[in-house]
Amino acid sequence: MCRSGLRDDERTDQPDLALLQYLRKTHAILLGDTPIIYSFGYSLIIFSYKESKMENSEILTRVKNVVSNVLKIESSEITDDSNFVFDLGADSLQSVELVAGFEEEFDIEMDQDKALEVQNINDAVNFIAEYL
């Protein structure tokens, strides 16, 4: 199944089509994922990563959901330019909870100091996009 001529410790970003189809069936690699394959004799180690970044519209939706849950407000009250403190009423503790919520939602680790400087929803979307 390995590409012919592949050295034992060689890495390839371009697997054979048959191998790619096999991996998608057996290892749940999604169409948007690109597998990186390391071959060690008869063993394969497979990693995959997303080729494309998340769309800002999806980030925005997820940010609004986190804000709604943490601040206990309706999503309809949150606009793209809502300020966390002045428009949405977040206090300092809730600001920390928002950062933690974003990290959990997007499975990222953000610079806490820089994250706490973010003032509004649009800035949060752009800030989070840098980590994705």
Token pair, residue 2, equals 């390995």
Q: 91 catalytic, yes or no?
A: yes
Structural domains in the chain, CATH included, are: 11-50 (no CATH), 56-129 (1.10.1200.10)
- Using DSSP's 3-state secondary structure scheme, residue 75 falls into helix
pLDDT by residue for the chain (132 residues), tens digit each? 344 444 444 445 555 566 656 655 555 544 455 555 555 555 555 555 444 467 889 999 999 999 999 999 998 999 999 999 999 999 999 999 999 999 999 989 999 899 999 999 999 999 999 888
Which candidate in 8, 80, 81, 91 is catalytic?
Answer: 91
pTM for this predicted structure: 0.60
